[in-house]
Structure 1
Amino acid sequence: MATASIIKLQATQQPEYYRHGINQGTTDKVSALLQKNHDTHHIFFNHDGFHNHIAHHLLTLWALRATDGELQQAYDSNASYQRPPGPLDQSIVTDMHDPAKFTRHLGNERHYHAFMIFFQDQISKSSTPQVINHYLLAGTEQADDLLHRLFGGFLHPLIHLGFALESQQPALVAEALAQAAVHSASMSPFFLRAEQAARDRADEPCSKTIAELLDEIHADPEMRAAPRWSDGNKLRDGVMGRAAEKMVSYTSQYRVEPDELERKTAEMVNAVAYYTAGAQREGYVRKYDFYFSKPPQTRADR
């Protein structure tokens, strides 16, 4: 049984879009490799915030019905450059129960191990839904701060949480929340302004589609010129650094109502296919952005 500290996948508990024929033996193999990663590796493989992609890689291969050998090869390739989580200071874990002290440790990658143990404890004492609701969705200052950090590091904490929930693994949820906790909250001002701008537009009849907004952004000379090849981080230095107010204006035009979730999810998938295919150019080697295909050894994805 999967717990807050034990990873245990079930071959019979898979979404219908996984490849058919995944057996329990291979499922036990991927569980063991994920457990080893959970116990022995940091979420960053260096001190510059480059992400450990082992969980994403293995779960994707498992969903595609990879063999034991393919899973082991993928793990060995990724594990070769990982680093340990570092020693655990139990006093820091204890401190985290105090919201003020919890905040003091945020954004510090040295405390990833402590945050992971803290969230494991919280999940063990209650449940995954209760912990996510309290620490991400409660609308409190603490929850909003961690929710914004979930989108840090080019969405990696959010990606990790998605894999954790889809695979129904509380231990991976603890990893994802700990990963969010050690990321920056630099996107917070943008999210707060965009949310307020969306409230100000609440009387508008309907929101635009993602594809419509992408076309408008593409046609906007200010947005096209915002990121530059010389930028160390084109999102931080370019889009957010030079065109944040324009982005607030665009993003506030998109809303999802509670009864629209399924349709908006389908729209999002369609938009991803649209802008991924649209980014290709005839006569050049097809290349996908790391949001969709992430080679961890060749991309600085802070």
Structure 2
Amino acid sequence: MISMFPDVSRGTTNVYAISSESFIKNPYIYHLPGITPETIETCSRLLQHNHEHYHIFFNSEHHFHNHATHYLLAALGLGASSHTLEHIYEQQKQVQQPIRPLHDNKDFDVNKCLGDENYYGNYLEFFKKELESEKYHGNVEDLIEDYLFNKDYLDLVFNGAYHPFIHLGYALEFQVKIMAVEGLAMAAVDRVNVKDVLKHLNYDQNKDGNKTALEIIELIIKDQRFDDKVFYNDDATKVDKLLERGGGPLIAEYAQMWKCDLDDLRQASVLVNTAVIRPKKALRLDFFLMHATTSGLFIDIFVHSLKKTENQFKFLKAKFAIDLLYYVARGRPKLNVNYLLNEYQSSKEHSYSDVQNPWLPLIDKCLTHQDTHVVKTIRALVYAEKFDSAQEKDKMSYLKIAQMVMDALFPADKKQWSHEGVGWEEYWKTVEDS
């Protein structure tokens, strides 16, 4: 277990490495071979350095998130060496901004300062004290569950394109205390942009829906009520515009139809990102839909950390609703599932047909990409293959999907994620034929 807080009694910082038992005994945690006491110590030290020196945003104006910790833990989980971890952190440090001095406590109110990133440091200190209080006794799971479901943080953790949720997912997976307080502090100061969806959801388990995720997506594609809610020329994430124009209640309406199912949600979180590719067009994957996949890695981890079944249900419904939100905001792209799974042919470079286990060289190569999202996407697909308990006929080839992702993002200096919106014909007219 990584447990890193200042040891005030000695004026130094205690760094406790991850105990292998913390994940070996947990059937919902999965790491590849390669994690050693040395790599654990290296990762612990780098996480601590980031915590003490850098803000949660590396760009305050746009609220671009500090991904250093995500990158380090994703790489550690894939068995990266200490040298690789050091290289990752040196690269990530180049863009970070320093954490700012604390505001005077008389100016800080835990409820009134929500959404103000200038108070990030104050929220860090607040949640550190909360976690170590008599109520939580250092228990990361108890702190997170209480704040999400008893203190109205559920919508906050899905703000900022899932990033607080992803941060908390790593905290739960690796039992990192500083990641738990960072994740809640990030949720407190990130932009509020999903509440107008979740407030319309009915979380009564007796009123669960009866449709699968893909059935609902097909209905959304045909629903003309979305036509004037978001446009190709809208700026950036397009989520804000969608919600400003009344998209929230419509998203909730469709989320309500969903039959709550963990496997279905995990598969959908992969397909809304990867099945947008088109025959006879160069591969393009959407930057924002990709976050549905990278956050999907933590579905199992989160669900099994929650003690109350009603909270598990509420969490799954909320995650699905946010996946739908981003799907609509990116233009409701047609999902070419059959093409992806049955017709797409992986490149020779990433099919690794001459090796016994194609996953191994693929994972090794993904660790060389400078974009943390590539490593996180591949790791989410590894997790999906491990934990997908769907019937055999309904299982997906996550390896083939991973090979396609590698085809889409390599070579790293020539290919990147699409930011324009893959659901619009205007965008695809700009994409070269394959």
SS of 2:64 mapped into structure 1: coil
Greater share of residues in helix: 1
The amino acid across from 2:283 in the alignment is V
Residues 109 and 242 of structure 1, relative CA distance in 2, 3 Å threshold: same
Match of 2:146 in 1: 134
Match of 2:118 in 1: 110
Match of 1:164 in 2: 171
Alpha-carbon separation, structure 1, partners of 2:200 and 2:84:
46
Counterpart among 234, 244, 251 of residue 247 in structure 1? 251
Q: Deviations over 1:73-131 (max 9, x none)?
A: 11111110101110123525xx76xxxx3211111100001101110111112332332
Moved more, 286-295 or 117-126: 286-295
Match of 2:31 in 1: 18
- 2:48 is the counterpart of 1:44: no
Q: 1:9 Cα shift?
A: 2.2
SS of 1:245 mapped into structure 2: helix
Alpha-carbon separation, structure 2, partners of 1:117 and 1:77:
27
The amino acid across from 2:17 in the alignment is K
Alpha-carbon separation, structure 2, partners of 1:110 and 1:216:
42
Given that 1:227 and 1:238 are in contact with CA atoms closer than 8 Å, whether structure 2 keeps it comes out as yes
Q: 1:268 Cα shift?
A: 1.5
- 2:294 is the counterpart of 1:268: no
Given that 2:196 and 2:248 are in contact with CA atoms closer than 8 Å, whether structure 1 keeps it comes out as no
Q: Which one scores higher on RCO, CA 8 angstroms, separation ≥ 6?
A: 1
Q: 1:277 Cα shift?
A: 2.8
Given that 1:41 and 1:83 are in contact with CA atoms closer than 8 Å, whether structure 2 keeps it comes out as yes
Match of 1:210 in 2: 213
Given that 2:156 and 2:190 are in contact with CA atoms closer than 8 Å, whether structure 1 keeps it comes out as yes
Counterpart among 218, 222, 236 of residue 219 in structure 1? 222
| Counterpart mapping for 1:49-60 below 5 A | 49-60=63-74
Alpha-carbon separation, structure 2, partners of 1:89 and 1:270:
44
- 2:184 is the counterpart of 1:177: yes
For structure 2, the residue ranges without an aligned partner over 5 or more in a row are 6-14, 295-369, 374-415, 420-434
SS of 1:193 mapped into structure 2: coil
Match of 2:41 in 1: 28
Residues 16 and 51 of structure 1, relative CA distance in 2, 3 Å threshold: closer
Counterpart among 148, 151, 154 of residue 147 in structure 1? 154
SS of 2:178 mapped into structure 1: helix
Match of 2:86 in 1: 72
- 2:290 is the counterpart of 1:278: no
For structure 1, the residue ranges without an aligned partner over 5 or more in a row are 257-263
Moved more, 42-51 or 270-279: 270-279
Residues 16 and 244 of structure 1, relative CA distance in 2, 3 Å threshold: closer
Match of 1:187 in 2: 194
Normalised by the length of structure 1, the TM-score is 0.82
Alpha-carbon separation, structure 1, partners of 2:255 and 2:116:
29
Match of 2:285 in 1: 287
Alpha-carbon separation, structure 2, partners of 1:187 and 1:275:
18
Given that 1:26 and 1:67 are in contact with CA atoms closer than 8 Å, whether structure 2 keeps it comes out as yes
Alpha-carbon separation, structure 1, partners of 2:149 and 2:85:
34
- 2:231 is the counterpart of 1:228: yes
Q: How many residues align?
A: 278
